[in-house]
Amino acid sequence: MIYTLLTIAVLLLASGDPAWAGCWLYLGTLLAGQLATAWTLALGDAALLRERSAASGQGTVAWDRRLAPLTALGPLASGLVAGLAVRFGWEPRFAPAAEAAGIALYGAGLVLGLWAMTSNPFFTPVVRIRPQHGHTVVTGGPYRFVRHPGTAGAVVADLAGPLILGSPWALVPAAAVAGLILLRMLLEDRALRADLPGYADYAGRVRRRLVPGVW
């Protein structure tokens, strides 16, 4: 709730226009995603819900304590830049049809992320490796096709934001956050190879990280 209120404040203060339709469309999309995620988590075990919601905890790698919070700034940064574009009339603007495309992309990224979450009981918002607590390699669901489906979903959802907001300028912070998400994925992949038994063999079988047949 606090994050949602902060996002509203950033969008409205940056744009100075409470009637900006893109602002409310963006907020509605984000809120729908948050509710879908919370509902999906609530269907599971209560202890697992607390574990997955924690931004830190036993087994969290040190570098991700610093990097993970930065990726959460993506919607705020995109909203800030898009709002300033509205306030100062920066051109160009995306065509109205881009909003529908953005919502579709965001939904696709959300569905992929939720599929990864429900398929992986060890899915957490930070990189956490705890083989001593039963952490094992997950090979079902989307993990049959790529090693980091949650990351793929996050990148798609992140890049959909500027389309919903109608601002090409917002692609600048969105691309920076996407790059940070990919950096975390590469570091996580290396850590899993080193510290999670069986992951190296799994990586040998499932060779693509994000996109089947591509990378």
The confidence score (pLDDT) of residue 130 equals 83
**Amino acid in position 44:** G
Token pair, residue 211, equals 């996109």
> Number of C-alpha atoms within 13 angstroms, CB side, residue 213?
0
The pLDDT assigned to 81 comes to: 97
Q: Quick one: pLDDT band at residue 37, thresholds 50, 70, 90? A: confident
Whose structure tokens read 């907020």? Answer: 27
Task: Determine contact, residues 67/184, Cβ cutoff 8 Å.
Answer: yes
**What is the per-residue pLDDT for 61?**
86
CB 13 within 8 A of CB 83: yes
pLDDT at 180: 96
Rama region for 90: left / alpha / beta (φ>0; ψ in -120 to 50; rest): beta
Q: What's the pLDDT at 50?
A: 58
- The model's pLDDT over 75-97, given as tens digits with 9 standing for 90+, comes to 899 999 999 999 999 999 999 89
Q: Is the pLDDT of residue 200 over 90?
A: yes
Cα dihedral angle (159, 155, 118, 38), rounded to 10 degrees? -50
Nearest CA among 110, 127, 120 for reference residue 37: 110
Walk me through the domains of the chain, giving residue ranges and CATH numbers: 2-205 (1.20.120.1630)
Helix (H), strand (E), coil (C) string for 77-103: HHHHHHHHHHHHCCCCCCCCHHHHHHH
User: What is the model's pLDDT at position 133?
Assistant: 76
pLDDT of residue 53 exceeding 80: no
pLDDT confidence bin for 57, thresholds 50/70/90: low
| 55: pLDDT strictly greater than 70 | no
Do residues 17 and 87 lie in contact, with contact meaning Cβ atoms separated by under 8 Å?
yes
The C-alpha angle 122, 213, 113, rounded to 5 degrees, equals 30
Average pLDDT over residues 184-196: 95
* Predicted pLDDT of residue 42: 78
CA-to-CA distance for 190 and 67, rounded, in angstroms?
A: 16
pLDDT at position 129:
86
Run of H or E including 68: helix 62-71
What pLDDT score does 80 carry?
96
Q: Provide the pLDDT for residue 95.
A: 92
pLDDT band at 56 (very low <50, low <70, confident <90, very high): low
* pLDDT for 47 beyond 60: no
Please report the sign of the dihedral spanned by the C-alpha atoms of residue 169, residue 68, residue 149, residue 30: negative
Predicted pLDDT of residue 155: 97
Give me the phi and psi of 169, to 5 degrees please.
-60, -30
Q: Does residue 75 have a cis bond before it (omega within 30 degrees)?
A: no
Q: Would you state the pLDDT for residue 3?
A: 81
Residue in 211, 89, 84, 196 with CA at minimum distance from that of residue 148: 211
Average pLDDT rounded to a whole number, residues 155-167: 96
User: What sign results for the dihedral spanned by CA atoms 37, 38, 44, 48?
Assistant: positive
Higher pLDDT, 48 or 20: 20
For residue range 105-140, list pLDDT tens digits in order. Answer: 999 999 999 999 999 988 888 888 888 778 899 999
